Structure 1
Amino acid sequence: MMGNESSQLRGLEIEENAVELTDFWSQYQATIKDSCRYFSLKGDGSVSVFKGQAALGPLWAVSTPLEKFSNNLLKYRHPCIVHYISAWQQRSIFHLATEFVQPLSQVLTAQTPLQKCIGLNNILRALVFLHEQAGMSHNNVSMSAIYVTGDGQWKLGGLQYLCPFTDLTSAYLKHARIHRYDKAIDPNEDSFETNTTIDQYGFAILVEDVYKNNKEDEVPHLREFKKYCQELLQHRDPTHRPSLSIVLQHNFFNHEFITIYKFLNFLPLKNEEEKCQFFSNILENLKCYDEETVAKQLSGLLLSRLTMLDQTARKDVIPYILKPKNERSQNCDQPGLFNLGVFKEHVKPRLIQLFGVRDSQIRLLLLSHFSKFVHVFSHEELSQHILPELLLGIKDIDDNLVSATLICLSELVPILGASTVIGGQRSKFFTDGRPKSKATGDKLYEKDIFSTKKPLRDLPCSETAFNNGNEMQESGYIETSLTLIERPSPVGGESIDDEITIMESAMNKGNSEEDWSDWDNTNHKLTLAESEDINVKVNLVDNQLHHNEVIPITLSNVSSLRTTHLQKAALEAKKNIVDISELDIKNQKVDSRKKSNEDFDFFADMKPVIEKPNIVNVSQNNLIQDFSSKLNFVPDNHEDENEGWGDSWED
């Protein structure tokens, strides 16, 4: 037993419908919630779960087939063998959890000839590892023992018949024959006491089944390799069959595409000179192949950690991998490697995984190209996967990382909104101070106003212009678009400009406190000609009233007449004011000549009259002077000149 009920993965949710049913187990797809330990292509924690029960047979006396499969997966680890995650026993059912895989038989029709070639290369590498490193024979090489991961990589499974070469006897093969693939069984298997080339024969049958519906010229050296398999790998004498490591040296596994794939797989074993030369020419070589095949087979290797940390790859390869083909930069002549559809299907899942890598160099590389691929993500992917990682980056102590992260966050604001990106409550601290046009209702920019070569009267203005006097006489109506405040200053102290500004502010206050009028806009100011025009209108009104002309009486006319009189009064007051100090009540002068007879002083009788004797010392020489006016009084030279000036001249 590999485990018990307590070893079950936390957050594991298994689908109800099985993906595959075999003699020994049933396969289900599952997901692990709230876990970042197991990554799938989609980054959603997808895994595969195998459920098996006990089986009858001499080979399963100690453990069930699924338990043996699980033990061998745990013991023999290789990149081309299905990755083991966990195993546990629940009641009488044994469970095995592995990376997300699908049976090859279900996806074979969707595989291209080049993908099949790479897949066979992976299976052959796994078999070489088992033969030469582990000293084990697989004994079940067939399509039923091969699985395909989410990114299209072929993985070897079906290890329930695995055994050492020392235990590989005809009796053992006879016991396992009932459940093995009939076509992959060597007809002369029972005639040899020991047969260590069972896997060579099965691999030859696998090549025939995989390329059954493909033409021989679709892959370089395919025809030669098929002939090689029939003549050598299926040779009647097992001793004449070559080892699998020699099969790897065939030209079928060494053409250009396979060479690129192998180089990326064994990148840690290459020196700097080899890597520099390889990454300098890889893009030109990959353009000769189908984009779908390149993306599905090589995107994971091109965006691997070792590739992204290589200086030549960061300069010559990564910028074109991270940019969809239809998004071309103005400063770059070479477009991206993949079109938008292929990029979304194969490259985007890799990017979501890479944003979870806690490596500053990889994160900085992604941030430097963030604007090129941010549009390929959905709102859900950005808010749930990318944004949390970016918010984590701004808390790092690396200033360069924080600076690059903030720039990328600004890219997300137009997409997700500022509330989602920065969070918290926001307030409006800034307003739009551009002038508005009431005629069109549209906001005009300053450059649009001053770029036109029109007279000032034809330019849009924040106030409605006056009509000239001729138009008013022809219409027969008295109309004005200028409306003053209802009650002007008692002495007409405020100017027309101030009154118009107050009126406009009162009108706009009801609409919005944030819509400011432009304080630099001088289009609404009255010029001298406009003031004279107002006087003409006022005189016209007075003449019409004096000659008893008939004016249609409406509510607008009454308002217009009242407004016109107010304008006339304000203008008269403005003309009479020479200095602003005259507005002070202390400095106001009263002209008794302008007093009307109708002004009656009700307190005249109540004013007290106090008479004081006037004592004036006058010299004899001045007796002949006229005393009719106090203005002719001349004080004596020996007297105090201030004496007698305290009396009021009004007495």
Structure 2
Amino acid sequence: MMGNEGSQLSGLEIEEKAVEITDFWSHYQATINDSCRYFSLKSDGSVSVFKGEAAVGPLWSVSTPLEKSSNNLLKYRHPCIVRYISAWQQRSTLYLATEYIQPLSHVLKLQTPLQICIGLNNILRALVFLHDQAGMSHNNVSLSAIYVTGDGQWKLGGMQYLCPFRELTSAYLKHARIHRYDKAIDPNEDSYELTSKVDQYAFAVLVDDVFKGHKDDEVPHLKEFKKYCSSKLQHQDPESRPKLSEVLQHDFFSHEFISIYKFLNFLPLKSEEEKCQFFSNILNSLKHYDEETVAKQLSGLLLSRLTMLDNTARKDVIPFIFKPKNERLQNGEQPGFFTLTTFKEHVKPRLVQLFGVRDSQIRMLLLTHFSKYVHVFSHEELCQHVLPELLIGIKDTDDNLVAATLICLSELVPILGADTVIGGKRSKLFTDGRPNSKLSIEKPQEIVFTTKPLQDLPCSEEIFHHDDSVMTLNERPSPVGGESIDNEPILLNKNISRAESEDDWSDWDNSNRQLTLRDTEELNQPDIFQDHQLQPPIENIDLNNDLLRPELKINPVSRIQLQKAAIEAKRNIVDISELDIKNQKIDLTKKGDDFDFFADMTPVIEKPTIINVLQSEEQQTFSSKLNFVPSDELGDEGWGDNWNE
């Protein structure tokens, strides 16, 4: 029987297998996919659906048993009565949807004595409500009329025999007897003139049934209460039976654990002083009881709206309830109250429910302690339940709420990933700006340059190494179309060259002598090329460029001679020092005056400028960005926006 069956609840899916089949209806579990997710502790939209059957009898001439029970659930609302959701009819079959419940008979064996005690308290409160405020008699108090919700609370159902006390007659009870619980029927019921104490007798039978197999010392005052029920509630004279409201005053319903339960239930009726004292000591009192029982029976009340809005509870209770117990605590860390297993089973579903509450105070409390419990959720729970609620929070007008929400979203990024939390397409907009990822960023002053070949360096820019004694230059590749000597590094011994220069030119004053290309290299380090494959050949050096040092300016004739000599000697050059003018081979056997090397050079002493080694017109983009030299031709273009050229 899958599908919505023409229901009034959108998205309802009913399970095929029935949970319970009685004379009047079949009980099914169902889920509502697109709404009403607060009907169950699981927050998955679980509900219960009762499918009614037709019944024969004088009591059902006007309405069927399920229809009558449905109308009574709709009319008489109480926290201890099964909650009505909806009812509809399809053809001749009636459907009733209620909160998620299970028959008590299915889970009774799993109930602890304390849970049974609290359950009986709930049923008794529901009966007192019906008797004293509604003026109605239930007439069907038994195990079959009691259900247990997802959080372990007992609730009264089976309202098909409910009637006003004025209509409760021997004839009415006789008509209903065929379907009532036989053990709960007083044998002398037909002979009594007073029939208003039917529920007292049935409640005493219920107490005996639920505690069957348990010892009398498992719950305080249990033995005395059983005797009280047998002697008072089952008294042969109905007039001697006490009112159910008096039964609530028995010591059995007044021990410490149930007193805590009652206080939390009636929290709005308590004064500020009572609440302050209660919440200051509640956790110490609960440590003496079974953790599973405390979590199942009290976790819902401890995380109720009224509790979370109390100032004392927010300080002394909630921080410990929100935090799972951790055996390894750090210094000064407060321990949690529930173990991780218990927390996941009983507290986590309630947290999911609380994220759907549109109360700023409750949401701020959840966000404040978010880091304590976020790890207990699965990825699916975070994505489907928690994250959507957090994304709603960032749109609120409360700045404090938005700020706290953003902090919680940041904690979800390592768990779910930024794609899930932020959404949309992302791109890499930031890069690692460190010049060398292998260098320590803590002590940048200790950066050491290396003499490895440029192709072995991890850095994108070439590194120039300078030594006082020896300068190692990388191989200079040949120009396009030319010849080169492969894999032969060129070494210049600067000390030896300087000594030879001083011996040969001792008659010149150091301040006035003309500088050779070799000396120029000593004063001005060569440019750091971005790509060592594009280093310019020596014959492409423009010696008449305006940016050259004035003392190096040469007339066109001498420039042509030097270029021809360089072209002829290029193939045999092993050491760059051969380019020095003093090392040029000149034929002195020619006729005429002695050759004067500096005849066409007029020394001009001006402020030194930086040499700019330019390449040919076909290759004018090789200069390093880190060793840029401004010129008149470049204008104000700067480095440009493209760093990858």
Superposed displacement of residue 39, structure 1: 3.0
Deviation of 1:38 (Å): 4.4
- Match of 1:563? 487
Residue 528 of structure 1 aligns with which residue? 467
Deviation at 1:570, TM superposition (A): 11
Q: Does 1:89 align with 2:89?
A: yes
Deviation at 1:36, TM superposition (A): 3.5
After TM superposition, the score normalised by the length of structure 2 is 0.74
CA-to-aligned-CA distance 1:423-451 (integer Å, 9 cap, x gap): 111111212244657xxxxx56434899x
Q: CA RMSD in A?
A: 3.4
The residue that corresponds to 1:577 in the other structure is 521
Rounded to whole Å, the distance in 1 between the matches of 2:562 and 2:168 is 138
The 8 Å contact of residues 413 and 421 in structure 2, kept in 1 or not, is answered as yes
1:26 is matched with 26
Distance 1:374 1:218 in 2: 37
Number of residues of Structure 1 aligned to a counterpart in Structure 2: 516
Distance in 2 between residues matched to 1:31 and 1:598, nearest whole Å:
96
Following superposition, the deviation at residue 286 of structure 1 comes to: 0.9
Give CA deviations for 1:392-441 in whole Å, capped at 9, x if unaligned: 1111111101111110110011111111111111111212244657xxxx
- Judged with a 3 Å threshold, the aligned counterparts in structure 2 of structure 1 residues 285 and 583 are, in CA distance, closer, same or farther, namely farther
Cα distance change of structure 1 residues 444 and 93 upon mapping to structure 2, 3 Å threshold: farther
Question: 1:224 aligns to what SS in structure 2?
Answer: helix
Alignment check: 8 A CA contact 1:434 1:445 kept:
no
User: What are the equivalent positions in structure 2 for 1:609-624 lying under 5 Å apart?
Assistant: none
Partner in structure 1 of residue 43 of structure 2: 43
Offset of residue 287 of structure 1:
0.8
Structure-2 change in CA distance of 1:417 and 1:345 (3 Å): same
How do 1:387-466 and structure 2 match up within 5 A?
Answer: 387-434=387-434, 443=438, 445-447=440-442, 463=450
The corresponding residue for 1:623 is none
Mapped to 2, the partners of 1:322 and 1:335 lie a distance apart of: 11
Residue type matched to 1:212 in 2?
Answer: K
- State the partner residue of 2:11: 11
Structure 2 contact 394–406 (Cα < 8 Å) conserved:
yes
Change (3 A) 1:570 1:193: farther
Aligned residue for 1:17, secondary structure, equals coil
Query: Matches of 1:225 and 1:423 in 2, distance apart?
Result: 61
- Is the 8 Å Cα contact of residues 435 and 445 (structure 1) preserved in structure 2? no
Q: Please state how far the C-alpha of 1:55 moved relative to its aligned partner.
A: 0.3
Q: Does 1:317 align with 2:241?
A: no
**Change in CA separation of 1:596 and 1:38 when aligned onto 2, cut-off 3 Å:** closer
Shift of 1:74: 0.8
Cα displacement (A) at 1:600: 11
Identical amino acids, percent of aligned pairs: 71
CA positional deviation for 1:75: 1.0
Residue of structure 2 equivalent to 1:133: 133
CA, structure 1 residues 7+601, in 2 after alignment: closer, same or farther (shift >3 Å)?
closer
The structure with more helix, counted as a fraction of residues: 1
Q: Which runs of 5+ in 2 are unaligned?
A: 476-483, 498-516, 526-541, 569-645
Q: What SS does the corresponding residue of 2:320 show, helix, strand or coil?
A: helix
The separation in 1 between residues aligned to 2:566 and 2:460, in whole angstroms, is 48
Residue aligning to 2:337: 337
Tell me what 1:211 maps to: 211
CA positional deviation for 1:58: 1.0
Q: Deviations over 1:371-404 (max 9, x none)?
A: 1111111111111111111111111111101111
**Gap change, CA 1:88 and 1:593, over 3 Å in 2:** closer
Residues 188-216 of structure 1, C-alpha deviations (whole Å, 9 max, x = no match)? 11221332211111111111111112121
The 1:568/1:134 distance shift into structure 2, 3 A limit, reads same
1:6-405 equivalence runs, <5 A: 8-36=8-36, 38-326=38-326, 330=330, 332-405=332-405
The superposition leaves residues 152-199 of structure 1 with CA deviations (integer Å, 9 ceiling, x where unpaired) of 000000011111112222221111111111111111112213322111
Report if the CA contact (8 A) 2:194-2:239 is conserved.
no
User: 2:203 & 2:12 partners in 1: Cα distance?
Assistant: 36
SS in 2 for 1:404: helix
The residue type paired with residue 367 of structure 1 is L
CA distance in 2, matches of 1:530, 1:134: 109
What's the offset of the Cα at 1:252?
Answer: 0.8
Deviation at residue 232 of structure 1 after TM alignment: 1.5
User: Partner of 1:577: helix, strand, or coil?
Assistant: helix
Distance change >3 Å, CA 294–CA 574, structure 1 → 2: farther
Query: d(CA) in 1 for partners of 2:226 and 2:319?
Result: 40
Specify every segment of 5 or more residues in structure 1 that has no aligned partner in the other structure, as ranges: 438-442, 451-455, 466-480, 483-499, 509-515, 539-559, 603-651
Check conservation: 2:37, 2:43, Cα contact below 8 A: no
Q: 2: CA distance between counterparts of 1:593 and 1:71?
A: 115
> Equivalents in 2 of 1:173, 1:407: separation in Å?
64
Shift of 1:34: 1.1
SS at match of 1:179: coil
Seen in structure 2, the aligned counterparts of structure 1 residues 446 and 362 have a Cα distance that, compared at 3 Å, is same
Q: Distance in 1 between matches of 2:565 and 2:349?
A: 95
* Preserved contact between residue 433 and residue 518 of structure 1 (Cα < 8 Å): no
One-letter amino acid matched to 1:577: E
Cα deviation digits, residues 485-533 of structure 1 (max 9, x gap): xxxxxxxxxxxxxxx4xx57xx76xxxxxxx6599xxxx652426726x
| C-alpha distance in structure 1 between counterparts of 2:414 and 2:167, whole Å | 67
Q: Which residue of 1 aligns with 2:531?
A: none
Partner of 1:89, secondary structure, is strand
The SS at the match of 1:95 is strand
Q: For the residues of structure 1 that align with 2:566 and 2:166, how far apart are their CA atoms?
A: 140
Hey, what's the Cα distance between the residues in 2 that align with 1:598 and 1:148? 107
What is residue 574 of structure 2 aligned with on the other side? none
